């Protein structure tokens, strides 16, 4: 009997010691790996930004990605006024550290979108967005803007890149979504993404975003072809979501006030 007792208490002691040892190992690993994790996340974001701007060379090393990304200025923009704001206005020193998606769930840092205006299906919009600009001889020649919105099953997160005319699309890509592979998931298909290159966002007087995804494909003689991209086949709802989210973010509630200020040289 005494032997059995000893075995039970010994087993408990061994289990306790092992669980303490393993929890120390796991939490130490988590703490030690955190900086590398953050670095990888940052590298991933930079890769996606370069990719949407058509600036990502295949097989680029981390160093080459950092070097290419360093040509961008990372700035924060008040979406209502379209003006740049200091990072301290959102509680950070480095604009790269500002998370506009986290801000979107903070009532102090975001705005509720009335459902009649919520084309992107996102419910709340951060007051301040993080934008990536590139300049040459003091002239902005490229702007990469974060965009997001609801497809069929999920919120799609991505970037749209515009040329210096702030109208012509240089590229568009989504880095996170949960649409069905082979259907809505074809938003990741490089062939589909290539169609966006050279398309124009705005109508002639730049007052309205006009992007359309056309079911059945854009015919060679289609009217307003410059604003049109083929819808994804078998994925009309994801396509509609993409059309709506692009037009939302390029519109008055998104980046239009900022792009207008840039065009007029006011920021």
Ligand X SMILES: Cc1cc2nc3c(=O)[nH]c(=O)nc-3n(C[C@H](O)[C@H](O)[C@H](O)COP(=O)(O)O)c2cc1C
Task: For residues 130 and 29, give the distance between their C-alpha atoms in angstroms, rounded to a whole number.
Answer: 31
Q: How far is the CB of 238 from ligand X (least distance, A)?
A: 4
Comparison of 82 and 241: residue with beta carbon closer to ligand X:
241
In sign, the C-alpha dihedral spanning 136, 202, 122, 243 is negative
Comparison of 78 and 175: residue with beta carbon closer to ligand X:
175
Comparison of 111 and 180: residue with beta carbon closer to ligand X:
180
Q: How far is the CB of 55 from ligand X (least distance, A)?
A: 29
Residues making contact with ligand X (CB under 6 A): 152-153, 179-180, 183-184, 233-238
Comparison of 58 and 181: residue with beta carbon closer to ligand X:
181
Q: How far is the CB of 200 from ligand X (least distance, A)?
A: 25
Q: How many residues can be counted in the chain?
A: 267
Q: How far is the CB of 116 from ligand X (least distance, A)?
A: 23
What per-residue string of b and e applies to 204-224 under the rule 16 or more CB within 10 Å gives b? eebeebbbbbbeeebeeeeee
Q: How far is the CB of 184 from ligand X (least distance, A)?
A: 3
Q: Residue with the closest Cβ to ligand X?
A: 184
Contact 231, 216 (CB under 8 A): yes
Q: How far is the CB of 151 from ligand X (least distance, A)?
A: 6
Alpha-carbon Rg for the chain, nearest whole angstrom, is 23
Query: CB count, 10 Å around CB of 141?
Result: 13
Angle formed by the axes of helices 62-69 and 2-52, nearest 10°: 50
Query: What angle (nearest 5°) sits at the alpha carbon of residue 78, between those of residues 73 and 79?
Result: 105
Comparison of 35 and 181: residue with beta carbon closer to ligand X:
181
Comparison of 43 and 237: residue with beta carbon closer to ligand X:
237
Q: How far is the CB of 188 from ligand X (least distance, A)?
A: 12
DSSP at 93:
S
Comparison of 75 and 148: residue with beta carbon closer to ligand X:
148
User: E strands within the chain?
Assistant: 73-78, 84-85, 110-112, 124-126, 128-136, 139-150, 155-163, 169-176, 212-214, 228-230
């Amino acid at each position: 009997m005494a032997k059995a007792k000893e075995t039970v208490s010994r087993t408990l002691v061994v289990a306790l010691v092992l669980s303490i040892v393993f929890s120390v190992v796991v939490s130490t690993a988590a703490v030690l790996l955190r900086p590398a994790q953050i670095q990888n996340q940052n590298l991933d974001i930079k890769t996606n930004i370069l990719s949407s701007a058509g600036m990502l060379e295949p097989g680029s090393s981390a160093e080459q990605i950092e070097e290419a990304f360093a040509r961008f200025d990372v700035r924060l923009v008040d979406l209502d006024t379209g003006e740049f704001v200091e990072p301290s206005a959102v509680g950070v020193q480095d604009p790269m550290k500002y998370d506009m998606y986290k801000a979107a769930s903070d009532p102090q840092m975001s705005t509720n979108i009335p459902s009649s205006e919520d084309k992107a299906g996102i419910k709340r919009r951060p007051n301040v967005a993080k934008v990536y600009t590139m300049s040459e001889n003091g002239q902005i020649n490229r702007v990469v803007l974060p965009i997001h919105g609801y497809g069929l099953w999920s919120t799609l997160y991505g970037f749209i890149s515009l040329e210096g005319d702030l109208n012509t699309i240089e590229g568009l890509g989504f880095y996170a979504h949960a649409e069905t592979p082979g259907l809505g998931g074809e938003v990741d298909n490089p062939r589909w993404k290539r169609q966006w290159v050279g398309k124009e966002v705005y109508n002639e007087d730049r007052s309205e975003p006009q992007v359309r995804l056309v079911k059945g494909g854009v015919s060679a003689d289609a009217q307003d072809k410059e604003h049109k991209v083929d819808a994804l086949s078998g994925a009309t709802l994801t396509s509609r979501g993409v059309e709506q989210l692009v037009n939302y973010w390029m519109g008055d509630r998104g980046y239009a006030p900022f792009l207008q200020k840039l065009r007029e040289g006011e920021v």
